[in-house]
Amino acid sequence: MIYRLLYVSTADARLTADDLEAILHTAQINNAANNLTGLLVYTGSQFMQLLEGPRDAVEAVFAGICSDPRHHSVARLIAEPTRERSCPNWTMALQVIDTPDYGPESVFEVDDETLKAFLPETMAPDLKILFQSFNTMKTANSYAAE
């Protein structure tokens, strides 16, 4: 049985593009070794990440992620057994929804269609909705701030 865990968190304000690359690099190596797959979406200020694989491995990696100073306010949304992986081919894919400088002030460059096209066909419908509304929510927040 596969176990899936979805969380959201807030990136440290000083997070750089190099940090993001380092996170992805570590994730891809560790996750391959632990039989984990998933998706990390970064909006420029927030993360949403899906981790899936053997339960113990998911929880062990998540415990490390929770104490990582590169983000805070980690909130677990889903943690449950599931029949199939949503991202079977990705040790960890990263979708950056932002302009290339990753700055928190540049959150307006959002393209819902890009994210939609990026999500794999194998993704469970509930996760698709959550990833998409995560993106939409950010768009709404940026309009509210105008």
Q: What residues line the site for ligand FMN (CB under 6 A)?
A: 23, 26-27, 30-31, 40, 47, 49, 51, 61, 64-65, 68, 70-71, 92
Q: Which is nearer to ligand FMN, 51 or 107 (CB)?
A: 51
In the complex, which residue's CB is closest to ligand FMN?
Answer: 30
Task: Give least dist CB 42 to ligand FMN, A.
Answer: 8
Q: Which is nearer to ligand FMN, 80 or 146 (CB)?
A: 80
Task: Give least dist CB 9 to ligand FMN, A.
Answer: 6
**For the CA atoms of the chain, what is the radius of gyration?**
15
Task: Give least dist CB 49 to ligand FMN, A.
Answer: 5
Task: Give least dist CB 146 to ligand FMN, A.
Answer: 27
Q: How far is CA 1 from CA 12, 56, 70, 72, 139, in A?
A: 34, 12, 31, 30, 36
Cα–Cα distance between 107 and 65 in angstroms, integer? Answer: 24
Q: Which is nearer to ligand FMN, 3 or 47 (CB)?
A: 47
Neighbours of 1 (CB within 10 A): 7
Which residue is listed with tokens 């460059």?
109
Q: Which is nearer to ligand FMN, 89 or 113 (CB)?
A: 89
One-character DSSP codes across 91-141: SSEEEE-S-TT--TT-TT---HHHHHHHS-TTS-HHHHHHHHHHHHHHHHH
